[in-house]
Amino acid sequence: MNIPIALDRSRLDAALAATQRGYDLLIDGNWRKAADGGVLTRASPAHGVTVSTYARAGAVEVEAALAAARRAFDEGPWPQLTGAERSKLLLNVASLIERDAELLATLDVLESGKPIAQARTEIAGAADIWRYAAALARDLHGESYRTLGPSKLGVVVREPIGVVSIITPWNFPFLIVSQKLPFALAAGCTAVVKPSELTSASTLYLGRLLLEVGLPRGVVNILVGEGPDVGAPLTADPRVDMVSFTGSTRVGKAAMAAASASLKKVSMELGGKNPQIVFPDADLDAALDAVVFGAYFNAGECCNAGSRIILHESIAGDFLAAASTRAAAVPVGDPLDPDAKVGAVITPIHLEQIERHVEGARSAGAEVVLGGRRLVSLAGQFMAPTIVSGVKPAMAIAREEIFGPVLLVLTFRTMAEAIAIANDSAYGLSASVWSRDFDTCLTVSRGVRAGTVWVNTFMDGAAELPFGGTKQSGLGRELGRNAVADYTEEKTLHFHTGPRTARWLPIRQSGAA
C-alpha cells in the first residue's frame, strides 16, 4: 500500500511566509474591495488552514468590470496597438511569470493541493504559452482576393471580437487562464476573468503582473465569486461578445444556453472519460508507466485523465497486477514535498463523491483491487490511488467523469471492439493507443472520436498543438496556430475601382430628369 508522505509543518510555514493572504478584485486598473464588504476564504485542502481571503464580487463589481472592459475595448487604445506592441507586452508578462514562478507554483499548491513539482512545470508551461501567444500576435493577418475581376479587390481582415468572458475551473488554475487570456489579448480583445473561487490566488497575482508591465486599465478585469453570482452574468450580459469557458459539461451547457440569448461566440473545454487502449504487442513497460501517470496525475482531477484502461484480454491479468504494484508505490501526501506525486483532493465534498463512485461500482459487481477509500493516515483530504476491475461499459463508473485517482479496467478481444468501447461515451476529449504495429496505431487513432489521440505516449502537449474536445467534451480548440484567430471576427472589405461596370439602372441621358 502507498506509504503516505506526512505533512511537514515547517514546509507549510515557509510557504505561508512566502505568499500573501488577502486579495482584492481587479477592476478598471484598480484593486477594489466588494461594495458590500463580502469576503470568501480558502483553506488548503492538504493542510486545513486558511490560505487566502478574497473580496467577494457581487452584482456591483460585475457591472463595474463589464463596463470597464467594454470601455477599454470601444475607446482603446488596446485594440488599436500594433501586433508588435501587444507582443512585447505579452513577452514581458512571460518574463515576470518566470521571475515569480516559485511564488505562483506555491499559490496553486496551497489552494488546489497539487504537488509542488508538478505545479512548477505548469507555471513554466504557462510562461511558454504566453511567449507563443506573443509570437502569434505579430502574425495575425487576413486574406486578399485579386481573382474577382480587374475592377475588384476582396480583402478579409481579422478584427478582435470584443469583450471576452474567461471562466476557469480549479484544477489547473494558472495553466488554464494562460491557455485563454494571452491569445485574447494578442487579438486585441479585452476581458473579464472569473477563476474558480477555490483557486483564485494565482490568477489575481497575474493581475499584478499585468499592471506591472503596463497593461492599459480595464483591458483585464478579475472577479472572484461564485458561479451563479459572477459566472452566470458574465455569460449572459449583452456587452460580452465571446465566452471562453473551461469546466464541467453540466455548467458548460448552462453557460452556452445563457450566451445564446445574445448569440455570443462560445469556446467550451469540458469534461472527459478518456480511454487508453493497450494491445499485446505494445511496449508494456512504457504503457504501464503512462497508465499509472494518466490515472493519478493531479489526483485524477484532470479533464485528460486516462481513467478508462481498455486492455486486450490476453494481457489483462498480468497488466492489471503490474499496474496495481506500481499504483501502490505512488507517493501520496504533502503537496509541498518535492517527492509527492499525488496531493490532496480539492474539497471534502468532492472526496466523498469519489468514494461514492467507487462504492457504486462495487455494488454493481466490479472489483476494487486497490485503494477505494481516503487515506485516513493523513489529515486533510487524500484519496488512495484506486483500481477498479471487472468494469462493464454500461456501469455508471465507466460512463461518468469521476475526477479522482481511480483507474478502471475494461477488456477487449478485437480492434473493432476496442474502438467501439472507446467511443461508447458521451465524451470525446482525448485517448491513447499503445502498440508497436503501425496499422493498429493508425486505424485506432482514426477510429476513436476524440480531440487528441496520443500514440505510444500520454498527456503530451505543446503550445503549437490545438487542444479541445469532440462530442460533449467541448466546442472549439485552444492553443495551436489558430488560437489568436479564434478571438477575432472576419470582416470583408470589397473594393471596386473605376467606373461601375454592373449598373442596376441604365445611365440617364444628359438633361433627363
Which is nearest to 177 in space by CA: 439, 384, 478, 438?
478
Which is nearest to 384 in space by CA: 324, 303, 302, 318?
324
Q: Return the residue of 269, 334, 337, 486 that touches ligand NDP, per CB under 6 A.
A: 269
Distance of closest approach, residue 478 Cβ to ligand NDP, in angstroms: 7
Which residues make Cβ contacts (< 8 Å) with residue 6, sequence separation at least 6? Answer: 333, 334, 378
Nearer to ligand NDP, 162 or 451 (CB): 451
State yes or no: residue 254 binds ligand NDP (CB under 6 A): yes
Stretch binding ligand NDP (CB under 6 A), from 93-101, 247-255, 371-379, 390-398: 247-255
Residues 384-403 that bind ligand NDP (CB under 6 A): 401, 403
Q: Return the residue of 219, 222, 429, 453 that touches ligand NDP, per CB under 6 A.
A: 429
- Interaction pattern, residues 451-470, with ligand NDP; x per rule: CB under 6 A: ------------------x-
Stretch binding ligand NDP (CB under 6 A), from 55-63, 171-179, 309-317, 405-413: 171-179
Catalytic residue among 61, 269, 401, 478: 269
Q: Do residues 407 and 395 make contact, with C-beta atoms less than 8 angstroms apart? A: no
State yes or no: residue 307 binds ligand NDP (CB under 6 A): no
Q: Return the residue of 194, 239, 273, 374 that touches ligand NDP, per CB under 6 A.
A: 194
Mapped onto helix, strand or coil, the DSSP state of residue 292 is helix
CA distance 337 to 331: 10
Q: How many residues bind ligand NDP (CB under 6 A)?
A: 32
Cell numbers standing for residue 214:
503596463
Cell numbers standing for residue 323:
499496474
CA distance 96 to 103: 11
Cell numbers standing for residue 19:
505568499
Distance of closest approach, residue 231 Cβ to ligand NDP, in angstroms: 2
Q: Is 303 a catalytic residue?
A: yes
Walk across the sheet containing 488-496 and list its strands: 143-145, 152-160, 488-496
Specify the amino acid at residue 478.
E
State yes or no: residue 251 binds ligand NDP (CB under 6 A): yes
Which is nearest to 216 in space by CA: 79, 33, 23, 31?
79
Stretch binding ligand NDP (CB under 6 A), from 13-21, 55-63, 264-272, 392-400: 264-272
- Interaction pattern, residues 118-157, with ligand NDP; x per rule: CB under 6 A: ----------------------------------------
Q: Do residues 34 and 65 make contact, with C-beta atoms less than 8 angstroms apart? A: no
Catalytic residue among 303, 355, 401, 478: 303
Mapped onto helix, strand or coil, the DSSP state of residue 287 is helix
Cis peptide before 331 (omega within 30 of 0): no
Q: Do residues 425 and 399 make contact, with C-beta atoms less than 8 angstroms apart? A: yes
Q: Do residues 156 and 149 make contact, with C-beta atoms less than 8 angstroms apart? A: no
State yes or no: residue 430 binds ligand NDP (CB under 6 A): no
Q: Return the residue of 83, 169, 182, 333 that touches ligand NDP, per CB under 6 A.
A: 169
Mapped onto helix, strand or coil, the DSSP state of residue 310 is strand
- Interaction pattern, residues 64-103, with ligand NDP; x per rule: CB under 6 A: ----------------------------------------
Mapped onto helix, strand or coil, the DSSP state of residue 374 is strand
State yes or no: residue 240 binds ligand NDP (CB under 6 A): no
**Residues forming the active site:** 269, 303
**Which residues in this chain contact ligand NDP in the complex, by CB under 6 A?**
167-172, 176, 194, 196-197, 226-228, 231-232, 235, 246-248, 251, 254-255, 269-272, 303, 401, 403, 429, 469, 474
